[in-house]
Chain A
Amino acid sequence: MSNKLNHSMSLAKPDALDISAKQKVALAIGVIGLFILALALFNTNFPNKAVFLTLSLGLIIGGVIVYSREAYLTKLEGIKNDGVWFKSISSRGVWGWIVGVILTTFYIVLYFFPKYLGLGSDGEANTGLIGLFDPLSQLLSGRNASQWFVYGTLYTVAILAFGYKFILKYRHNRYQQLRTISVMFFQLGFAFLIPEFMYVMNNDLPYYDLKSIWPLNYYIFDEWSVNGFLSNGNIGLALLLFGILSIFVFTPILTYKYGKRWYCSWVCGCGGLAETAGDSFRQLSSKKMYAWKIERWLIHVVLVFSIVMTTAVVYTYLGYDKNDFWLTRGVFISLVIGFLTLVFTAVMVFKRNELGKDAKYGAIGFFIVIALLLIMHFTGTTDHLFYVKAGALRSAYGIYIGSIFSGVIGTGFYPILGNRSWCRFGCPMAAILGFQQRLFSKFRITTNGGQCISCGNCSNSCEMGIDVRHYAQKGENIVRSSCVGCGICSAVCPRGVLKLENDSMKGRINPTEILLGNDVDLMDLVNDK
């Protein structure tokens, strides 16, 4: 594993960097906060839940704040990566695995066994951990907490506290600060507070985090969700329309102008957690060629799956004939196929050359989707699709993609696979935005002439597993569908080689063989070959 020679037989790594006494105190404060949560989990009945909840969350946030200030404000501004590959927690050491196991277990219990967290069933009062959060939930929306409220609160606390840490770590870098403030704002406002207030105003509306866009928000077009919107008059209809416009209109425009980063590292909640609480794990994402191959297959399979499944879900609750609504199954399936064909044809006509060998895979993917939709249309019955009960199909999709992939593996495995493994391997939204970013966007990471020294800091810190150096050392711009535009490669580059930019489409992709700095004729000779 490590190249470092360890001449000591000591179990504690002799060269690991010690934390200061003040940081130890900060850690202890945070652990006490977590310990209160653990006590609640094991059904300690706190006398005044509001006080203990406040105390717990306050201690956690306070611990992180004190720790971060001591870590970064005691030093000069600059890159603060000393020892990340020595520390057990950030280099897949014992602490990394322990945290990974705890997080994973938490997600499994959260998704599949919420009663162990204390969720009251059949009208019973909440107990345990969920019970501890009742006062906060009552305060915000006048109802008792659910496991999702607990999760949402902890999620928001993590983004806020570690967002603060991240801002201090990059206090010399305004791009990093602004996008971190942005994800903190969207998490606190859009994912956490606004849905609660919307419930207070109109408790029939389905939970709707306005920034969570289909297909990341995989249930927005489910029957209960759509019915929820439609049965709520104009406001409901407006929200549903907003959801549809988000993916078909807003997203393409913003991605064209700024790349997918406007969403993935400025707005998205999954991205927000990855960039803040997950920042210490970014170097763990694999840059090996095989990881890239797995990534390409996996993420596009999920995309195909989510398009087909969403179509199927909508399809199941549409009627057959024109009597009840103009949008019948036949019309809907034709619309979907028509839209996909339009996109496919446009790409093949205008971008065939840029795709190269990948055009074949794109075509295969397209025809698989069409074939699946047609099979569904001609074999489906009222409640069976693909010969499976429609309800079962829907919940299977929710469990496998929504729960296991995004939660259990996506976040639980932060300390093992890196902080963006969900975004990289599984997010269908990232796949769609990435597809557009690669083919039709002004965004790129510009490589600065011939200044690269192949040191590898950029690749090492890429959370999406892009081998940035592979491009930079060839003097080539980085135009990759997976890039979320976090900007850390540019920040850590010791030679000022990388810059995230929105510029014209022309010359965005610039394959070169001879780099700037050499004889001009030689560059022409080899590059124009």
Chain B
Amino acid sequence: MEHIVIIGNGISGVTLARHIRKLSDKKITIVSAETDYFFSRTALMYVYMGHMKFEHTQPYENWFWKKNRIELKKGYVKQVETASKTLHFAEGDTLQFDKLIIATGSKPNKFGWPGQDLNGVMGMYHKQDLEALETYAPNKDVCKRAVIVGGGLIGIELAEMLNSRSIPVTFLVRESSFWNGVLPQGESEMINRHIKNHHIDLRLSTNLKEIKSDDNGNVKSVIIEETGEELDCNVVGLTAGVTPNIDFLKNSEIELGRGVKVNRYLETNIPDIYAIGDCAEQHEAIGNRRPIEAVWYTGRMMGETLAQTICGNKMAYNPGHWFNSAKFLDIEYQTYGWVFGERGRPEYEKHFHWKHEDDTKCITVAFHKDTNEFLGINTFGIRMRHEVFDRWLTEKRDIDYVMHHLSEANFDPEFYSRFENEILKAYTNQLQTA
């Protein structure tokens, strides 16, 4: 029986294993050094906040794996020997495979800051990071202030986590406005204000210079690059993005870039070895996507696709229309299609922006300035239907059509206030004055 070995028990690897099991009888082993069972990484924050216990982040009960004949091995792969198809573990044992899938995800970026390895400095990615946070920031007495470095999705989640335990947070963001590499200006500025409303000390255009240590190797303070200001703190969260977690492949024959280089079939340069999820890097980006997509959904989709290939129905990774979502403290965010921030915006892309007066809801609709084709939408504080926007994007609707049919796409709970009329009015006015 063919032995499929998957390194990594995240959403990519587990989706792949589940689909291979549905399609075939192959022997499947999932290897992980992080946890015994698959859990939802995106839910780690809720464990610290006390909304859930860790076991609740596990989407499948523990008996699931045996019942579906998916073997779980806890171990850290130290080396992949491609010629003999052997994995060598840090613990000393080995494992033979017929096909190998690398789905090891990411690790937090560290940019060589002085003091970045002190006690109390951590990312927020692995379960071990959560345990470290629990150790160094159990409450506001032990952790009198935390400093977060890096204004992205993980950074704001970490700020929300610490805030839930009343720990004062200073949030250092390199950009001039929160996540404005991705978000258009109006949205980004609304989130700036929302962060401040939560009593988080947001510092824009601010960089970390160094992290200072006390006598015991614990974090004592940080120094800010621009002003030289010293901020006393007990915890430093490094959330300046992630990189593929592939150091263990450095001495193998597998071709690496920033991630594991793969073609559209998710194959590496070595036969029978594949890579999916955060750690895979496309030779050429697909459409507007980045070569490395570190997103839950793309990991899942790669797993769904590769299962077909491995079970004899060779299939290219061919993602549909881009979508994503997040939550910034109390404000939900969804995006369908492409809406670019100031940076990297194609010259043909124009925006219509509407913001509610309560400053917690807004939308931005992107369209082609010549053809009026609808390109994408960002929505904050209003839920939208994935299926509807996916269809409109496929049908290449124009912005007029989308604005007049916006109510079809609304996904807010029953009895919520609706804003389609107000939005349409703003849209009509804006076009007339523009």
Chain B: which residue is nearest A78 at the CB level?
Answer: B330
CB of B51 within 8 A of CB of A81, answer yes
Q: Does B321 contact A (CB under 8 A)?
A: yes
CB of B53 within 8 A of CB of A76, answer no
Closest chain-A Cβ to B137's Cβ sits at a distance in Å of 9
Chain B: which residue is nearest A521 at the CB level?
Answer: B318
CB of B138 within 8 A of CB of A15, answer yes
**What residues on B are CB-neighbors of A521 within 8 Å?**
318
CB of A495 within 8 A of CB of B332, answer yes
For the A-B complex, the count of residue pairs with Cβ-Cβ distances under 8 Å equals 189
Q: Does A82 contact B (CB under 8 A)?
A: yes
**What residues on A are CB-neighbors of B131 within 8 Å?**
5
Closest chain-A Cβ to B423's Cβ sits at a distance in Å of 17
Kindly state the separation between the CA atoms of A77 and B321 in the bound complex, as whole angstroms.
Answer: 32
User: Given A17-B165, A499-B411, A522-B318, are A174 and B51 also a contact pair (CB < 8 Å)?
Assistant: no
Chain B: which residue is nearest A173 at the CB level?
Answer: B413
CB of A496 within 8 A of CB of B387, answer no
Interface flags, B384-396, vs A, CB<8A=1, else 0: 1111001000100
Kindly state the separation between the CA atoms of A88 and B49 in the bound complex, as whole angstroms.
Answer: 15
Is chain A's binding surface mostly helix, strand, loop or mixed? loop
**Residue from B11, B313, B330, B415 in contact with A175 in the complex, judged by beta carbons closer than 8 Å:** B415
Kindly state the separation between the CA atoms of A5 and B413 in the bound complex, as whole angstroms.
Answer: 37
Chain A: which residue is nearest B301 at the CB level?
Answer: A518
CB of A7 within 8 A of CB of B135, answer yes
Q: Does B214 contact A (CB under 8 A)?
A: no
Those of B40-71 within 8 Å (CB) of chain A: 40, 42-43, 46-47, 49-59, 61, 63
**What residues on B are CB-neighbors of A3 within 8 Å?**
47, 53-55
CB of B385 within 8 A of CB of A448, answer yes
Kindly state the separation between the CA atoms of A46 and B417 in the bound complex, as whole angstroms.
Answer: 51
**What residues on A are CB-neighbors of B19 within 8 Å?**
513
**Residue from A455, A499, A513, A522 in contact with B413 in the complex, judged by beta carbons closer than 8 Å:** A499
Kindly state the separation between the CA atoms of A370 and B38 in the bound complex, as whole angstroms.
Answer: 47
- Selected interface stretch from A115-123, A190-198, A357-365, A486-494: A486-494
User: Given A15-B139, A496-B332, A499-B413, are A456 and B387 also a contact pair (CB < 8 Å)?
Assistant: no
Q: Does A84 contact B (CB under 8 A)?
A: yes
Q: Does B187 contact A (CB under 8 A)?
A: no
Closest chain-B Cβ to A112's Cβ sits at a distance in Å of 37
In the A-B complex, list the 8 residue pairs whose CB atoms are closest, starting with the nearest: A449-B386, A3-B54, A78-B330, A496-B383, A455-B43, A519-B318, A83-B50, A174-B415
Q: Interface residues, chain A, CB within 8 Å of chain B?
A: 1-5, 7, 14-15, 17, 76-79, 81-87, 172-175, 178, 283, 288-289, 446, 448-451, 453-457, 459-460, 469-470, 473, 487, 490-492, 494-496, 499-501, 513-522, 525-526
Beyond the given A457-B52, A495-B325, A517-B320, please list 19 additional residue pairs across the A-B interface where CB-CB is below 8 A: A7-B135, A7-B138, A14-B138, A76-B329, A78-B329, A82-B51, A448-B383, A450-B300, A456-B57, A457-B43, A457-B46, A494-B327, A496-B325, A496-B411, A499-B383, A513-B22, A514-B304, A517-B301, A517-B386
